Structure formats: structure tokens, C-alpha cells
Amino acid sequence: MRPWIFLAGLGGVLAVGMGAYAAHGLAADAAAQALVERGSQYQLLHCLALLAADRVAGDGRRGGAIPHLAALLFLLGMVLFCGSLYWKALSGIPLPVPMVTPAGGMTLMAAWLVLAVAGLRR
């Protein structure tokens, strides 16, 4: 079983669905539409990054723990960053933790750095 591929697939489905909802269901609310579109774009891009991390991890013997850490950070970053954008757009309720969106963005950046480190290893 390849859980990162499975989660990337689910994330991709959600990203495309949210993008479609932004285009059609939120046409009357430009601010909400922009937030959902941004979240959808970032989520779809990082689902591909999740697939790349799985590819680097390989069968577990070759890649070591570093690409798995990158994959985990990509997943966490998507939940925090994209999820907070969706929350803001769809609920209209302020986030319980105001800094969750930038924390998610920093987590995504950390994931890219960890993936870069994985590329330096044999």
C-alpha cells in the first residue's frame, strides 16, 4: 500500500471539486471565490509534490525517512493552509487560531526544503 499516493489522489479530487465550486457556486462572492480558488490551486500543486515525495521515498529501503517527512509536511501544510482558506471563504467565521494560514504556508515551505535535502542523499 502506498498511503501518500492514496492521499494525493483524495487531495486532488477535493482540490478539483473545490475549484469547480469556486467557479460556479461562489460566483456571487468574489472574495470567497478568490480564497477557494487560491486554496484549490495550492492544494492541487502540493498533491503533485506529495506524489514526488512518494517517488523519492520509493519502496522504503532506498529513500529513507526524509522523503516521508517531506510528504507528511506537505500533507500537514495543505490541511493548515488550504483548509484555513476554505474555512475563511465558506464559513465566514474567523479562524479559532488566527496564524494557522501562515503556519500552513511555512509548513509547505519546510516540506520543499526537506524534499530538497532528500535529493542530496544517495
Q: What is the pLDDT of residues 15-67, one digit of tens each?
A: 999 999 999 999 999 999 999 999 999 999 999 999 999 999 886 666 689 99
With vertex at residue 88, the alpha carbon angle to CA 114 and CA 26, rounded to the nearest 5 degrees, is: 110
Task: Work out the mean pLDDT of the chain and round it to a whole number.
Answer: 94
With vertex at residue 61, the alpha carbon angle to CA 56 and CA 62, rounded to the nearest 5 degrees, is: 40
From residue 31, give the alpha-carbon distance in Å to each of 28, 38, 44.
9, 11, 20
Q: What is the pLDDT of residue 98?
A: 86
**CA 43, 45, 46, 50 torsion-angle sign:** positive
- Amino acid at position 17, single letter: G
Strands in 8-56 per DSSP E: none
pTM value?
0.93
Longest dimension (CA), the chain: 52
**What residue numbers bound the domain in which 88 lies?**
3-120
What is the number of structural domains in the chain? 1
Q: What is the pLDDT of residue 60?
A: 60
With a CB cutoff of 8 Å and minimum separation 6, the contacts of 11 are 43, 44, 46, 47, 50, 75, 78
